[in-house]
Amino acid sequence: MPDRPAALGRPGPAALDTACLEVRDLRVHFPTDDGLVRAVDGLSFRVAKGRTLGIVGESGSGKSVTSLAILGLHDGTRARLSGEIWLGGDDVVTAGAERVRALRGSRMAMIFQDPLSALHPYFPVGAQIAEAYRVHTDVARRVARQRAVDMLGRVGIPQPQRRADDYPHQFSGGMRQRAMIAMALVNDPELLIADEPTTALDVTVQAQILELMSDLQREFGSAIVIVTHDLGVVAETADDVLVMYAGKAVEYGSVEDVFYRPEMPYTWGLLQSVARLDRVRQDRLRPIAGAPPSLITVPSGCAFHPRCPYCSLTDGKGEAAVPALEETAPGHLVACHLPPPARRRIFAEEIKPRLQPATGGQR
């Protein structure tokens, strides 16, 4: 893994060359009548060109807020942003609205969760894709339409010439998401953000869409950020994984690190709550106890401590101090007060056996 970031904090200027997206200390706060909602609170990560980062976490962990922040889609009157979001030479946080608009759709694009509601019901699919092309490319209507038809063909819509005139409701769910992908890729963006791209789709279609995305990534060389709560999607597509909890990164590493050597109790919880047929049958799945924290009154210290079964092993640090995201192995970062040897022991002795497949040994 040559271009995996060495550390998340302050990469040297050389690292900027390979990074497509770099987020530094991003904070997205929403002042409300009930108090300040800290949806994202000090998040840093990088994605290199041609690689895929999976951001996982429960609902309300700040995943989607992060993706909207990268695209500059937060309403400036309601959200307070700070930190840096570098896309090439532009900082989305400080750049002017007009500059960010020019980046949006051309150098960074987004695929949304529910393609039916994300496509305009009153315009033909082809016209919506052509429109996305014409915003950033000064071409004739006819040329843009041909481009839209080509893109629809590229994402596997049969008879694209004819289907381009169809309306979203005439497409099936999978085809709609293909059309969304075509729309997102119409300007060859460097960065593609997919926010729960398969959640609203039929399981049989999910795999096709994920495969299509990796195919297109190979072809276009874009960096992809997949935001999801579905660990299966991450295992399938991502190179690196960022686990978020209460607006902060709690674990970051390669897919192998996070799936086979996870060190943060929250990640353990996520992995254990996945239903799998190849695992030893348990009576029940093991959900993470408790509920996601309020983002207005985030628990003191480690935000996960009220739900963490191992908090008592931290000598009270869990309640007192916010753990730093520190490297535990090269490229593998964890924010946890448990001493690394203890984490590895607990994982090996308690957690790993529960994740083992029922037959065939270790994966």
Contacts with other proteins, residue ranges (CB under 8 A) = 71, 73, 101-106, 109-110, 112, 114, 117-124, 131-132, 135-136, 167, 169, 180, 183
* β pairing state of 191-195 and 223-228: parallel
DSSP SS3 for 103: helix
Whole-angstrom Cα Rg for the chain: 21
DSSP SS3 for 127: helix
CB of 74 to other proteins, least distance (A): 11
CB of 18 to other proteins, least distance (A): 25
Provide CB contacts within 8 A for 256, sequence distance 6+.
none
CB of 224 to other proteins, least distance (A): 15
Rounded to an integer, what distance in angstroms lies between the CA atom of residue 147 and that of residue 134? 10
List the beta bridge partners of residue 245: 248
DSSP track, 8-29: SS---TTHHHHEEEEEEEEEEE
DSSP track, 129-178: HHHHHHHHS---HHHHHHHHHHHHHHTT-SSHHHHTTS-GGGS-HHHHHH
Of 57 and 168, CB closest to other proteins: 168
CB of 305 to other proteins, least distance (A): 35
CB of 245 to other proteins, least distance (A): 25
Cα dihedral 228, 229, 233, 235 sign? positive
Of 120 and 345, CB closest to other proteins: 120
- Which amino acid makes up residue 141? R
CB of 221 to other proteins, least distance (A): 21
Of 97 and 140, CB closest to other proteins: 97
Structure tokens at 317: 């640090």
CB of 139 to other proteins, least distance (A): 15
CB of 104 to other proteins, least distance (A): 4
Identify the helix (H) or strand (E) that includes residue 341. Answer: helix 340-346
Q: Which of 218, 217, 169 is nearest to 197 (CA)?
A: 217
Of 126 and 253, CB closest to other proteins: 126
Of 121 and 360, CB closest to other proteins: 121
